[in-house]
Every structure is written in C-alpha cells, then in structure tokens.
Chain A
Amino acid sequence: MKLYFKILVLSLFVLIGFSAPGFAGDTIKLGVAGAHSGDLASYGIPSVHAAELVVKKINAQGGVLGKTVELLVEDDVCKPEVAGNTATKLVSDGVDVVMGHICSGATKSAMGIYKDAGIIAISPSATNPDLTLSGEYPNFLRTIAHDAVQAQLQVKFATNVLKVKKIAILHDKGDYGKGQAELAQKYFTTAGVDVALFEGVTPGAVDYSAIVMKVRRVKPDLVVWGGYHPEASKIVTLMRKKKMDTLFMGSDGVKDDTFIKVAGKYAEGVFATGPMDVSGNAMAIAAKKAHQEAYGSDPGAFFDAAYAATLALLNAVEKAGSTDYNAVMKALKSEYVDTPLGNISFDANGDAIGIGFSVYRVENGVFVEQK
C-alpha cells in the first residue's frame, strides 16, 4: 500500500511539474514580472494591479489586433537569480512582450534572456542609469526617468533654491539606494557643495540613533537620502525627536504616500523628488478610481508608471500590426501614446520622452510640487 502511495505522489509531482505550460491560444501574451512576494512586494504588486486593470479595459474594447490580451504574472522576489528563472519561464510560455522587472538588479539579470529571445521589456521602476545608457540592453525601455536625471535635479534644487553649502549623504547600502547616493555625491561635489558625510546604514536595523548623532555632529544644511521610504521615515522621525531641524531630501523611493502615513507629523517639510505630478491627468484619476473599485484601496508605488508601460506596450503592438521585435520597437520609439503620465514616447536609449522629475515637499500631510 505504502509503495503505491509513494509512486502516486511521485508521479503527481512529476505531472504537476511538467504539464503546466501547454495550450497556445490565439492571444497576445503580456508578461508581468517583478517582486510579488517577499520584503519588496509592496513595490511589485501595484504593477500587477495596473496591468490587470489595463488588460481588462483593453479586452473589453475588443483587445489588441482583434486578439484578447492574456496576462502572465511571474514573481521574481527582486532577486537576480530568481529573475533569470522567471524570464526563461515567460520565454518558454511564449510571451510576446514584458512589463517588468521592478528592481534594477533583477532586471539586469533577466534582460539578457529577453534579448536572446527577441522580447521587449518596459520597466515601470528600474532606475539604474546603466540599463539604458550603457547600450548593453537594447531591448529595455522604461517609463521612469533614471537616477542621474533625478540626482541632477536634486543638486539644482538644493543649490539654487535651498542654497545649501554642506550636506550629508546617507544610503541603505542597496542596489538602488547606494547607486543613487553615489550619483548625488558626484553631482553635488561638481557643484561645489561640501559633502561632509557619506555613509550607509543597515536596512531593517532597530535603531538609528548613532548615525543620527553623527549627522548632528557635522552640522549639515541638508541630509540627502538614497534608498526606500521605511528607513527614511525612521531616520527623519529620530532626527526630529532629537530636536534636529536639518532639511531632509529623498528620491522617488521616498515619494510614496506610505512615507507620510508612517512618519506622520515628522514628515512635514521633507523634500523628495519623484515623477512629475499627474494628479491632474484625467487618465490617472480614472485609473486610480478603477483601482479603488477593483481592489478597495488606493494604488501603491509605481502604479501610474506601470499603467503607462502596459498601455505603451499594447499600443505599440497594435500600431506595429504584429508582435515582431523590430516593428514593435519602432512603434514604441516613434508613436506617442496617451497615458496617466501624459503623452509619452521613447528615445533611442529607451528612456521615456515626456516624463520628468519634480521636487516635492510635504506640506500638511501631502506631497506638494515645488516650482
């Protein structure tokens, strides 16, 4: 009896494993890859929601090229080694275009596979400059401006508007945060600002008082933060509790409503750069409303960018008349498309045209764009 049971389990295991992919219907397959579980899930899940909403809408209007759009959602946990598997899974499943990945490291590891398979990917959130500027990832595009643009904007704002002389740069030692901090350091130094402190903090640590004390000792005019919002809110809160009123500036990892929610009153006056304000855009308002109806909550980080990326991809396929790599790429780089981020297209590197960054300041619990 036991033996049969074991054989049964084994064969079931084999069956589940190998029979998963199969039927190839007449659909346009849109892959969505990113972190959908693990500690960075809150950056990936909004993009899945965006893709689902766009696809639902487009299918209701008759699909793309008369075919329905099918979503293939795969998780990469933001880890490079998993992203490789995710990418081959999507390629094996015959995906036509990909919206993803979320993290720059995972994206780099997946792009090689897409390149060999002739698949275009648009990321809503991977901001590492190398992805578009190095020329090694020709099939990569993004609906978010890259870190260098952001760092230059920070420097311009800090020197022209805030008139700072001395700054401290902190980062979270991660792929995104440290990359951003290094760019900031480079541009601030060129602009003649004294970078008095450049240090990484350990994400997830229970207490940051030592580093806050160190910042206080060098007495900077401004603290520039490279990294995500959870650590930023911890550091800002601690700074304010220790009666420091030093200005604080973060990047698009901080420009998230969760930051204000978590830091509460201590968030007041914090600067953050982020994608240009789209709250007046009719499509963005409609998308937000659709999200509230479908999921019962406000959309999360990179939702608009993911929405735009999905629209741009499907629009390009429609315009190209097929899912052929060259035709779609040409359509992406020549056609303009209406998205929640405005009317956008892509330049020769793959960066979006018509998307920029602005500086925001937290005023009365909301991010207010600074002119």
Chain B
Amino acid sequence: MTATGEIKKSVLVSLWFMFLTFPIMVIRVNTVQDVVEWRWLNMAYIGIGTFFISMLWRYMIRRKEREGKKEKTDNLSFAQKIILDKKIFIPLVALTGLFIIVFPHMFSMYQTNIMISALIYVMLGLGLNIVIGLAGLLDLGYVAFFAVGAYSYALLNLHYGLVFWLALPLGGFLALIFGVILGYPVLRLRGDYLAIVTLGFGEIIRLVLENWNEFSFGPSGIPNIPKPPLFGVDLSLSGSIIYLYYIIVGLVIFTIFVINRLENSRIGRAWIALKDDEIACQAMGIDKARTKLRAFGLGAMWAGMAGVIFAAKTTFINPASFTIWESVIILCTVVLGGMGSITGVISGALLLILLPEYLRAFSEFRMIIFGAVLVLMMVFRPGGIINNVRKTYKFQKT
C-alpha cells in the first residue's frame, strides 16, 4: 500500500469513470436541429473528482474494516451507549422534550410545518417497524393503510361531517381491519414473495381510489378537508399549524409508549422469535398465523392514524400521494434508522424527510444527493444509524 500504488489505483478508477460517464455527461444531442454539444469540461471534472473520491472511498472502507474488527470486543456504538446509560439518557430525553415543546415558538411556521410532515413519517416508520423490524415481514405496500386512514377521514367528513377527533381512532380501526384482511391470504408467503404481494395490494388500493370516481372522487381528489377544531376557537394559519404540531407530538409520544410496551410483551417477544426462526417458533407453541396477523393489523393501525393527520394537514388528498414510492420512503426510514430500534426509526424518519427539505438550497441537485446519501449510509453503516440493542442475558458462573 504505497503512495504510488494508491495513486495508480485512483488514476485507473478515474479513467474508468471518465469512460463510463462519457456518453451521458459529455455528449448532448439536439435531434431536432441536428447539433451535437460536446462538453469535454465535464469529463475533466469527473476525472479529477473521482480521483480524489476513490482515495477517500478506499480510506473509509479500510477504516470501517478496522473498526469492524475492533468492535468485536466492544460492540456497542456511541449512540447505543447513550441509550443504555440511564444517567445520560434520561436528561437527554428531558432536554429533547423541552426542545420539542418550544420548537414552534422558536422557529418559523415553515419549520413547524415540515416538522409535522417529518413526525407523520416518524409515526409511519414506527408502525412499519412493528411489521418489518419486529415481526420480520417485508411489507412494500404499507402506504395502502396510510391511504385508508386519509380517505376515511376525508370521506366520512365529507358525507357525515365526522370531526377529526372521532375520525382519528376510526381511521386507525379501519386500517387495522384492512391490515387483517390483506394479511390473511398472504400468511403462507415468505420473504420477497410477501414483499411483492404487499406491493400489489398497495397498488390495488391506489388504483381503485384512482378509478372509482363515485366513491373516492378519482384523481381530482378531495379538497377542503377541515383542520382539527379546538373547542370552537377559530385558529389563524400559524395557530392551526402549531396546534396540529402538538397533536402529532402527542401521538408520536403515545406511539413510542405503546410500541415500547409491546416490544417487551408476550406478543412482542413472539414477533421477535418469529423473525428469527419460524420453525423453532412454531415448535415453542406460538400460533404463527395469529402472531403475523397481529403484526399486520397493529402496524396498519398506526398508518391509518397517521393518514388521518396527513389529510388534516394537507387539507387536500388525491391518490397521487399514495404511490409505491411512499412505501419505499417509509421502508427507507426504518432500515436507514436501524431496524427494530425505536430511536433509530425516529432518527431515520427525521433525517429522510427533513433532508430533502433542507437540501432545497441545492434545488435540482437535492434528489441526486438524497440517492447518494442512501447508498453511502448503507455502505458505511449497513445496520442503520442506530443498531437495535437486543436484550441479552449473560450466564454468570459463580
């Protein structure tokens, strides 16, 4: 690993990329006027850029490998240690709580608004975490339940004038029923087959909403969905945003509480056992079908409630908000944050939803950066931001 060797490697890499990006980056044809634009400068940038990036890349990979060896002895990361250490963790939670409470008063309406979006995704991520992180069922159609929640509020309000506070539990309940109905036929499927079938269900629900005009008003959507009322007080724009912010904060805290409880309950342990080994799990006398259905149903319920809030926030919904792409983003929040870990999922959701918003400064480059961040995160931290810490029991010789 001499310096010249390194340089030689990087030169090769940069030559390779100059070749690779040649047609797309250098040539631009205008087929109407038959003009070819040659952008040789781009090639130079690519060459120089990849030269340094490849050096950095190899350095990072080596560092990761070294750390991988080191962690064998001390396999808890910085964040995990904080979570486990009650002395640091509790004040930290208190501080975060304080920050959350004063947040809308410290920052602009826009910041509060995107924080609401991010917290909706925190809820979705935590819900999907039940299905994927705990029970190990890969669900690519999770957004369907989100849609069920959003549409049940919008439609019930439109036809029967149902208020937000009644719609919230009802939306969750309807989504739960859908979760169980959709979960039932797919119990036999495993792994990627399950993924594709749930993807199919997600698309079916969206397509039905899109085509069945009499029921869902089709692609033109439902406008003017009321924001949550506050004892008849007429709220201003910023007032209603702040109010919604506190509602979602409350719900997220409730979600965290419930999931935390679930995780250590009989059901939660059954899920984790099911994820690790189905056969052993059955042998231990756990009803596989019922456990899986519970995971589907409970996961769906949170999505339904998040959907109600989503409808109340945007005040307009149409099927375009519930594409496969949303399912993929929710899945990314769970995996990126660290499957199974509540803090992980929260940080993943905040990162993924706030990042594109803060990357607005880079305007057209924001999505390419977002894609690159996903890849880099997975390459350098495949377990997610915060790896889940499983309860371990040590056998101590006395």
A105 touches B221 (CB 8 A): yes
In this complex, the interface size class of chain A, counting residues with CB under 8 Å from chain B, is: 35 or more
Prevailing SS type, chain A contact patch: helix
Interface bits A92-111 vs B (CB < 8 Å: 1, else 0) = 11000000000011001100
* Smallest CB separation, B380 vs chain A (Å): 13
Among B110, B317, B320, point to the contact of A88 (Cβ < 8 A).
Answer: B110
> B residues within 8 A CB of A179?
219-220
Q: Per-residue 0/1 for B57-79: is the Cβ within 8 Å of any A Cβ (1 yes, 0 no)?
A: 00000000000000000000010
Q: Tell me, yes or no, whether B263 is within 8 Å of chain A by CB.
A: no
> What are the interface flags for A175-203 relative to B under an 8 Å C-beta threshold, 1 for contact and 0 otherwise?
10111001000000000000000001000
Is residue B313 contacting chain A, with contact meaning CB distance below 8 A?
A: yes
Given A21-B110, A37-B367, A75-B360: A84 in contact with B314 (beta carbons within 8 A): yes
Name the residue on B nearest A84 (C-beta): B314
**A136–B218 touching, CB < 8 Å:** no
Q: For B109, give its contact among A20, A88, A109 (CB under 8 Å).
A: A88
Are B237 and A117 in touch, CB under 8 angstroms? Answer: yes
In the complex, the answer to whether B236 meets A116 with C-beta atoms within 8 Å is yes
By beta carbon, the residue of chain B nearest A16 is: B358
Question: Smallest distance from the beta carbon of A195 to chain B beta carbons, Å?
Answer: 16
**Distance from A217 Cβ to chain B, minimum over Cβ atoms (Å):** 22
Q: How far is the CB of A220 from chain B (nearest CB, A)?
A: 22
Q: Does B361 contact A (CB under 8 A)?
A: yes
Residue of A nearest to B222 (CB): A108
Count of chain B residues with a beta carbon within 8 Å of a chain A beta carbon = 42
A173 touches B211 (CB 8 A): yes
Let me know if A108 and B221 touch, CB within 8 A: yes
Residue in A13, A37, A105, A261 whose CB lies within 8 Å of B220: A105
- Asked whether A175 and B32 contact (CB < 8 A) given A16-B358, A17-B354, A85-B113, the answer is no
In whole angstroms, what is the CA distance A13 to B363 when docked?
17
* B49 interface hit (Cβ, 8 Å): no
Interface flag for B117 (CB, 8 Å): yes
Separation of A85 and B321 alpha carbons in the complex (Å):
14
- Contacts A79-B321, A175-B320 known; A93 to B363 CB distance under 8 Å? no
User: Considering the complex, which residues of chain B in the window 204-229 have a beta carbon less than 8 Å from any beta carbon of chain A?
Assistant: 210-211, 213, 218-221, 223-224
Task: Select B310's contact among A16, A81, A104, beta carbons within 8 Å.
Answer: A81
A10 smallest CB distance to B (angstroms):
10
Nearest CB to that of B223 among chain A residues? A108
B54 within 8 Å of A (CB atoms)? no
Given contacts A81-B310, A108-B221, contact A6 B117 (CB under 8 A): no
- Pair B316/A91 contact, Cβ less than 8 Å: no
Bound Cα distance A210, B318 (Å): 28
* CA gap between A113 and B314 in the complex, in Å: 9
The distance in angstroms between the C-alpha atoms of A109 and B117, with both chains bound, is: 14
**Complex-state Cα separation, A16 to B354, whole angstroms:** 11
Q: Confirm or deny: A166 has a beta carbon within 8 angstroms of a beta carbon on chain B.
A: no
Report the separation of the CA atoms of residues A13 and B354 in the bound assembly, to the nearest whole angstrom.
Answer: 10
Shortest CB-to-CB span from A20 to chain B, Å, is 7
State the CA gap A38–B363 with chains docked (Å).
Answer: 12
Contact partner, B111, options A18, A81, A113, A173, Cβ 8 Å: A18
Given A2-B78, A92-B108, A116:B237 Cβ within 8 A? yes
- CB-CB under 8 A from A200, the residues of chain B are 211
Does B6 lie at the interface of the complex (its beta carbon under 8 Å from any beta carbon of A)?
no
Q: Are B211 and A20 in contact (CB under 8 A)?
A: no
Q: Are A85 and B211 closer than 8 Å at their CB atoms?
A: no
A10 to B237, CA, bound (A): 31
* A80 sits at the interface (CB 8 A): yes
Interface residues of A in 253-291 (CB under 8 A from B): 261
Q: Tell me which residues across on chain B come within 8 A of A93, comparing CB atoms.
A: 110
B320 CB → nearest A CB, Å: 6
Q: Is B155 an interface residue (CB 8 A)?
A: no
Q: With A85-B114, A89-B110, A130-B223 given, is the CB distance from A178 to B218 under 8 Å? A: yes
Query: How far does the Cβ of B394 sit from chain A's closest Cβ, in whole Å?
Result: 27
Alpha-carbon separation in the docked complex, A80 to B326 (Å): 13
Q: Does B357 contact A (CB under 8 A)?
A: yes
Our pick among A3, A37, A85, A109 for the contact of B315 (Cβ within 8 Å) is: A109
Cα–Cα distance between A88 and B117 once the two chains are bound (Å): 12
Cβ–Cβ contact B111 & A80, under 8 A: no
Interface residues of A in 128-153 (CB under 8 A from B): 128, 130, 136
8 other A-B residue contacts (CB within 8 Å) besides A89-B360, A173-B219: A6-B78, A75-B360, A75-B366, A81-B313, A81-B321, A92-B111, A105-B316, A174-B320
- Chain A residues proximal to chain B, CB less than 8 Å: 2-3, 6, 13, 16-18, 20-21, 36-38, 73-75, 78-81, 84-85, 88-89, 91-93, 104-105, 108-109, 112-113, 116-117, 128, 130, 136, 173-175, 177-179, 182, 200, 261, 297
Identify the 5 closest CB pairs spanning chains A and B, nearest first: A116-B237, A92-B110, A109-B316, A92-B108, A88-B113
> Can you list 14 A-B contacts (CB < 8 A)?
A3-B78, A17-B354, A38-B367, A73-B363, A80-B316, A88-B109, A91-B109, A92-B108, A93-B110, A109-B314, A112-B224, A117-B237, A173-B210, A175-B318
